Structure 1
Amino acid sequence: MERIVIIGGGYAGIYALRELVKNKNIKITLIDKHTYHNLQPEVYDLIANKSNFADVTIDLTTLCRGFNHNHLEFKNLKVRKIDQHAKKIFTEEQEIVEYDYLIMAAGTRTFFPSSIPGLNNADDIKKLHRAITFKQSFERQLFEKIKNEAKQCADTHIVVVGAGLSGVEIAAEMAYYANKFFQRGNFSCDNLKISLISSSSSILPGLKQDLINISQQRLKSLGINIITNTKLQKVEDGYCYLSNGTKINHSFVVFTGGVESSTITAELDDVAKNNRGQIIVNEFMQTDRYENIFAVGDIAEIRNLKGEIMPPNVTIARISGTNAGKNVLNMIAQRPLEKCNPKLDGILIALGGEYAAGDIYGILTVKGRLAYEIKKYVFHSYRKPLIKLIKKGYAKLKRF
């Protein structure tokens, strides 16, 4: 029986799994150091109290149980070493997992440049436990603020560094949440400030100008201070020091200035990678050295058939994960492999509350409540079948 291992239970890994389970005569093992699949784009809703922990996670144990496959298992393990010649995976828990085919889907992590002193103390909301810690710290400070408002009214200042999608969305959600919080309670000490710092000449570099304009107008209406053409140089003594020669005080620093590949890619030391550590794959999602090792989602440098590098997002995770799953099954059945030619469906940006902006297939620009409803529909269309599976898996577990 052929053994397939997926490392990483994120979007790309789940889509690969959904293809692989179509073959009932193979053994599939999903490995992740976490017990849950983090629905990362929705974590901002969690921070802004629009959802709870259960809304932004999918339990991997019950998910795997929910699939109708007798040879599928989830292992909550931390990978330490991969021996691609012996086809063995070594884990921190001393368990060895063998494979015939391997799909790398471990994703990325926030990149904290060592050249910026003090940045190691910044908040990293890409990791769910860090996002929850940030949420708790922020709410604790709000409580202290209103508790002491008659005596003093100290500033609360959130500095968001990086004005790409993540930075813009977290700044917008936090500003909207804070504004509603103070309005609802009619608190006098409502001097929360949010600054968004972009090293580029605008926010959302690389996106269409109309999306940039809509987003910038919305951020300003939420009271967010946008600082462009400026880099963070160091974080020290409650201040952020900027490249324009100024310093601004901060209560929290949220860093969204870039990502790098999971450290696990270093274990495949003889495959081609780019300068961010992403594994370079061919049109079949295979590594250059091993046709039985695939890389998908954010951990891979994925190009379309024109040779253009695709941005790391959920759409590309879906397409690449699905393609790798199909091609593993094709290899097992000795069928021709299918080329992956990813295309972006568009982009949708959450901008606080029930407001969003989006570009649909490069044809239509939408904004406001309509864009928000489209974004929620896309999310629910992904989550709904997974919820069905984990309910089925949970029912199976309760029988034992």
Structure 2
Amino acid sequence: MKKVVIIGGGYAGIYALRELVKNKNIKITLIDKHTYHNLQPEVYDLIANKSNFADVTIDLTTLCMGFNHNHLEFKNLKVRRIDKEQKKIFTEEKEIVEYDYLILAAGTRTFFPPQIPGLNHADDIKKLHRAIDFKQSFEKQLFEKIRDEAKQCADTHIVVVGAGLSGVEIAAEMAYYSNKFFKRGNFSCDNLKISLISSSASILPGLTQELINISQERLKSLGINIITNTKLQKVEEGYCYLSNGTKINHSFVIFTGGVEASPLTEGLNVQTNQKGQLLVNEYMQALEHENIFAIGDIAEIRNNKDEIMPPNVTIARISGTVAGKNVLKSIEGKSLIKTNPKLDGILIALGGEYAAGNLFGLIHVKGKLAYFIKKYVFHSYRKPLLKLIKSGYNKFRKF
């Protein structure tokens, strides 16, 4: 019986798994250091109190039990090393997992440039536990502000560094949440400020000008201070120092300035780019390694025009699905299928029931319409997974 291992239970890994379970005669092992699949694009709703922990996670144990597959197991392990020659995975827990085919879907992590002193003061909300810590710290500061407002009205200033999708979305959600909070309570100490810093000439570099304009107008209406053509140079307790020669006070610094691949790729001795992402061919195989596939954010994925595709859920779906199909085809001795990833579009959450988007490169949408389209896309992904974890939970309860 062939053994297939997926490392990483994120979007790409789940899409690959959904293909692999179609073959009932292989052994499938899903490995992740977390017990849950983090629905990362929705974490901003969690921070802004629009959802709770259960809304932004999928339990991997019950998910695997929910699939109708007798040789599928989930292992909550932290991978330390992969031996390609022996086809063995070594873990921090000293458990060794063997494989015939390996699918790497371990994703990326926030990259903190070492040349910027003091970034240890910054919050990394890409990780769910760090996002929850930030949420709790922020709410505690709001409580202290209201508690002491008759004696003093201390400034609260959130500085978001990086004006790509993540930076724009978190700034918008925090601003909307804060405005709603102070308006609902009619609190007098409502001097919370949010600054968004972009090293580029505008926010959302690389997106269409119309989408940039819509987003910028929305951010300004929420009271967000946008600073462009400026880099963060240093962070100290209470202050950020910027490349334009100014310093601004901060209560919280959220850093979204870039990503790097999982450290798993460092010792794998395969071809990678400068971010540590694995280079893959059109079949999603790591170069020169037919039994190793890389999908989602951990891979540098190109279309047939040789353009690098952005790391998002659409590319995770396409790459995960193709890799899953190609592993099965490899096992069956069939010809592999090529991938030519294309974006369905892009949708940006901009606080409350407001979003902006570009659909299929043809039309721009904004406001509630874009918001409900974004929610529909999310629910379309989450709904079948909820059915699986419910089925898995019922099986688990019978043991």
- Structure 2 residue identity aligned to 1:64: C
**Any stretches of 5+ residues in structure 1 without a counterpart?**
none
Q: Would you say the 8 A contact 2:121–2:237 is kept in 1?
A: no
Q: Distance in 1 between matches of 2:132 and 2:2?
A: 40
TM-score with structure 2 length normalisation? 1.00
Superposition map of 1:83-232 within 5 A: 83-232=83-232
In 2, distance between residues paired with 1:32 and 1:237? 35
Q: What is the CA distance between 1:305 and its match in structure 2?
A: 1.2
User: Where does 1:1-400 land on structure 2 (aligned, <5 Å)?
Assistant: 1-269=1-269, 271-400=270-399
How many angstroms apart in 2 are the aligned matches of 1:127 and 1:153?
Answer: 32
User: Hey, what's the Cα distance between the residues in 2 that align with 1:332 and 1:80?
Assistant: 27
Partner SS, residue 223 of structure 2: coil
The SS at the match of 1:241 is strand
| Alpha-carbon distance between aligned partners in 1 of 2:386 and 2:100, rounded to the nearest angstrom | 30
Distance in 2 (alpha carbons) for counterparts of 1:315 and 1:307: 18
* CA drift at 1:120: 1.8
Helix, strand or coil: the match of 2:335? Answer: coil
**What is the Cα deviation at residue 290 of structure 1?**
1.1
For 1:193 and 1:288, locate their aligned partners in 2 and report how far apart those are by CA, in whole Å: 48
For the residues of structure 1 that align with 2:181 and 2:352, how far apart are their CA atoms? Answer: 12
* Counterpart-to-counterpart distance in 2, 1:123 and 1:241: 17
Which SS does the other structure have where 1:267 is aligned?
coil
Residue type of the partner of 1:340?
Answer: T
CA deviation string 1:188-234 (max 9, x = no partner): 00000000000000000000000000000000000000000000000
Match of 1:231, as an amino acid? K
C-alpha separation in 2, matches of 1:288 and 1:237? 45
Q: Could you tell me how far 1:237 is from its partner in structure 2?
A: 2.8
Q: d(CA) in 2 for partners of 1:237 and 1:381? A: 43
The one-letter code sitting in structure 2 at the alignment partner of 1:73 is: E
Identity of aligned residues (%): 83
Q: What SS does structure 2 have at the residue aligned with 1:294?
A: strand
| Mapped contact 2:64–2:392 kept (Cα < 8 A) | yes
What SS does the aligned partner of 2:201 have?
Answer: coil
| SS of residue in 1 equivalent to 2:266 | helix
The aligned amino acid for 1:397 is F
Secondary structure of the corresponding residue to residue 181 of structure 1: helix
Q: Using the alignment, how far apart are the partners of 1:137 and 1:287 within structure 2?
A: 41
User: Could you give the per-residue CA deviations for residues 55-85 of structure 1, whole angstroms, max 9, x where no partner exists?
Assistant: 0000000000000000000000000010000
8 A contact 2:163–2:203 mirrored in 1: yes
Cα distance between partner residues in 1 of 2:152 and 2:53: 34
For residue 92 of structure 1, what is the amino acid of its counterpart?
Answer: E
1:289 shift after superposition? 2.3
SS of alignment partner, residue 302 of structure 2 = coil
**Distance across 2 between alignment mates of 1:210 and 1:288:** 38
> What SS does structure 1 have at the residue aligned with 2:361?
coil
Which residue identity does 2:53 align to in structure 1? Answer: F
Question: Partners in 2 of 1:90 and 1:27 — Cα distance?
Answer: 18
Amino acid of the residue matched to residue 90 of structure 2?
A: F
Q: What amino acid sits opposite 2:265 in the alignment?
A: T
Q: Name the CA distance, whole Å, in 2 between partners of 1:79 and 1:289.
A: 22
Unaligned runs of 5+ in 2: none
Paired with 1:220 and 1:344, the residues of 2 have a C-alpha distance of 28
Deviations 1:79-104 (A, max 9, x none): 00100000000000000000000000
**CA–CA distance in structure 2, aligned partners of residues 308 and 180 of structure 1:** 41
The TM-score with structure 1 as length reference comes to 0.99
Q: Displacement of 1:267 after TM fit? A: 2.5
| SS at 2:28 equivalent | strand
Contact preservation (8 Å) 2:121, 2:236 = no
Cα RMSD of the aligned pairs, angstroms, is: 0.4
Letter in 2 for 1:255: F
Distance 2:268 2:138 in 1: 39
Distance in 2 (alpha carbons) for counterparts of 1:210 and 1:323: 33
Deviates more, 1:287-296 or 1:191-200: 287-296
SS of residue matched to 1:283: coil
C-alpha deviation, 1:174, in angstroms:
0.1
Q: CA deviation at 1:8?
A: 0.1
Counterpart secondary structure, 1:254: strand
Q: Distance in 2 between matches of 1:143 and 1:88?
A: 51
Q: Which runs of 4+ in 1 moved over 2 A?
A: none
Contact 2:356 2:367 survives alignment (8 Å): yes
CA distance in 2, matches of 1:312, 1:23: 28
Structure 1 distance, partners of 2:73, 2:267, is 23
Alpha-carbon deviation of 1:44?
A: 0.1
| Per-residue deviation, 1:12 | 0.2
